[in-house]
């Protein structure tokens, strides 16, 4: 096994991050996004709930890092702090709320600098992602638009200055992507 590493699996909403992680869980420790918390905040998207959701993400990632520090094993995590800042910027947070959030985000990013991190982006066409989102029928995702997914993809892939491994995601590629991630670990 290579040195202990932290792997973030990222991508658009509906790309299949949870599906990939569920396949990986028999081989490696995984951490999925806290969906119950996310549902709670997004089912009633009032501004203050979005703010609470973003702070919950900061806390979630700090807990992951605390656990990572205590154990000598690699961890694969669904989503990343780098994506969470994009969600914050695209949300309806006020300027002052966003500034307060960015202060916590910067502290988290500084903490991340000490770790061996790989960020994997599962690439998918926004139209395909939107179809998957609509097919799964989650009430809190009903207002997601193609335009939002296009902007999200742009922000996640073009504007980020962090190391990014692109994996193309289709149902046929699913097993190959799992193998690629496992190869990074062993």
Are the CB atoms for 2 and 186 separated by under 8 Å? yes
Q: What is the pLDDT of residue 156?
A: 83
Which CATH number does 6-185 carry?
3.40.50.300
Q: What are phi and psi of 128, to 5 degrees?
A: -65, -45
Q: For 145-171, how does the pLDDT look when each residue is reduced to its tens digit (9 = 90+)?
A: 999 999 988 888 775 544 445 555 555
| pLDDT, one tens digit for every residue, the chain (186 residues) | 457 888 898 889 998 888 888 888 888 888 888 877 777 776 665 555 778 888 888 999 999 999 999 998 889 899 888 888 888 888 888 899 999 999 999 999 999 989 888 888 888 889 999 999 999 988 888 888 999 999 988 888 775 544 445 555 555 555 555 566 666 655
Query: What sign does the dihedral 115-19-156-64 (CA atoms) show?
Result: negative
Q: For 91-102, how does the pLDDT look when each residue is reduced to its tens digit (9 = 90+)?
A: 888 899 999 999
For the chain, count helices (H), then strands (E).
Answer: 8, 5
The structural domains of the chain, with segments of one domain joined by +, span 6-185
CA–CA gap between residue 185 and residue 160 (Å, rounded): 24
Map tokens 């994996």 to a residue: 167
Q: Which residues pair with 167 in a beta bridge?
A: 122
Distances 28 to 16, 25, 39, 99 between C-alpha atoms, Å: 18, 5, 26, 36
Q: What is the pLDDT of residue 184?
A: 61
């Amino acid at each position: 096994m290579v040195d202990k590493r932290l792997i973030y699996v990222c991508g658009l909403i509906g790309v299949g991050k949870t599906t990939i992680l569920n396949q990986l869980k028999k081989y490696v420790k995984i951490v999925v996004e806290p969906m119950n918390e996310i549902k709670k905040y997004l089912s009633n998207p009032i501004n203050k709930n979005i703010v609470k959701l973003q702070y919950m993400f900061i806390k979630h990632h700090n807990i992951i890092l605390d656990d990572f520090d205590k154990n000598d094993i690699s961890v694969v995590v669904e989503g990343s702090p780098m994506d969470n800042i994009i969600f914050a910027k695209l949300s309806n947070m006020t300027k002052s709320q966003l500034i307060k959030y960015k202060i916590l985000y910067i502290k988290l990013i500084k903490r991340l600098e000490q770790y061996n991190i790989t960020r994997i982006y599962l690439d998918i066409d926004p139209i395909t992602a939107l179809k998957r989102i609509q097919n799964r029928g989650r009430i809190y995702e009903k207002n997601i638009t193609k335009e939002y997914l296009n902007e999200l993809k742009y922000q996640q892939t073009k504007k980020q200055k962090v190391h990014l491994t692109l994996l193309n995601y289709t149902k046929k590629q699913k097993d190959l992507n799992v193998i690629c991630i496992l190869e990074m670990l062993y």
